[in-house]
Amino acid sequence: MARRPAYDQMMRNVAAANAHLGMVLVGDTGSGDIEHSLKGLDSLRRKVASQLPDYEGVVEDVLADVKDLHRYSSATEPANYTAAAEGAVQHLSDQNAEFIKFNHTWRHPVYKGSNAVFKPSVPVAATDPEVRAFQNDGLVRDTAHTIAAREKDPTDVEPPIPVTTLEVQPRGLDAPCEFQMHTPGNLKVKDKLHLPYELQRSGMLEKKFGADAKEYVRATDYVMASMYQGRSDIVPEHLDRLDALTKSLPVGKVVNGPASIPEPKPEALAQVQRILYAMESLQNQQPLQRRNSNQSLYEQAMEAANRPAVTRSNSAPGEISVHTPPAVPAQHHAAAPGPTPAGR
């Protein structure tokens, strides 16, 4: 939180340097915090919890490797996209930013975009009030005291939680920052990719289908790839120059992927589409719950895989086929969502 204002300003400077090419920051109103520029706490908790086994249970090591606590997205029209990407890299390099990763996946059939992770060189005052407030936060102190007391109490039936000592030191702001670069058309597709992407990384496909999960993962890839079809407003021009820019960075990687995703078995595709329909319906019924932190959303949606569905042929090119589930007993349904716009 203490870094956020400085990082927001840094990224506004990147966009301003490329404003003549039409680059804009997503979620920037020009004042206050840039929307979604700080990773949400629920998202951070999920990421730490899922990666703890890989770091032998050491929370600090996981946190030290989180590269998207600060995250930004830009949008530039396809004709000027490559020039804006070149300008952004040049601007950040001139400001002594250290690139940790730079990938572009514009030729990949499932996910398209450019993703940069870098360490900025941005100073912060050692007297930052939010840093000092966090150091003196009563909840942090009380929680540490409670955990320590539990470890010493042999009558506690719950397994002990290791004590974590957290020290916040005012310092130069060199924490990593993620910067995704998109075209406006690609941002529209990216929004639709959210639910199938979350379904894949939730692990629910593997949980439900076991040894057969690969076919359902491929079906999910096929659904995501289909969302790009029939659109000419997505891929930037001059991809050869973007290739050269990516390869010019020591950490750059051009990700091509397969030419296309083979069509999956019809039953796998139908089940995946029913699950996605159920996820979208549940999300519409639970608008106040974050879909990327609501594990029960996936579990409830999995129940839809056992229900037959009727496909309507009113989907626009590149969109998921719309499914109408059959009538089921009333207790299985919450209040029905509002009318669905055509083409969804």
In this prediction, residue 202 has a pLDDT band, given cuts at 50, 70 and 90, of confident
pLDDT of residue 27: 93
pLDDT score of 250 more than 60: yes
Q: Which amino acid is at 137?
A: D
In this prediction, residue 106 has a pLDDT band, given cuts at 50, 70 and 90, of very high
pLDDT of residue 307: 52
Helix 266-285 to helix 184-202 angle (10° resolution) is: 100
Structure tokens, 46: 């999920």
- Strand 177-182's sheet: what is its strand order? 24-25, 70-75, 177-182, 114-119, 98-104, 252-254
pTM over 0.85: no
pLDDT of residue 90: 97
pLDDT score of 194 more than 60: yes
pLDDT of residue 298: 52
pLDDT score of 150 more than 70: no
pLDDT score of 342 more than 60: no
If you average pLDDT over every residue of the chain, what do you get? 76
Structure tokens, 249: 């960075």
pLDDT of residue 88: 97
* Average pLDDT of span 120-130: 57
Chain CA centroid to CA 236, Å: 21
pLDDT score of 82 more than 60: yes
pLDDT in tens, 276-291: 988 888 777 655 444 4
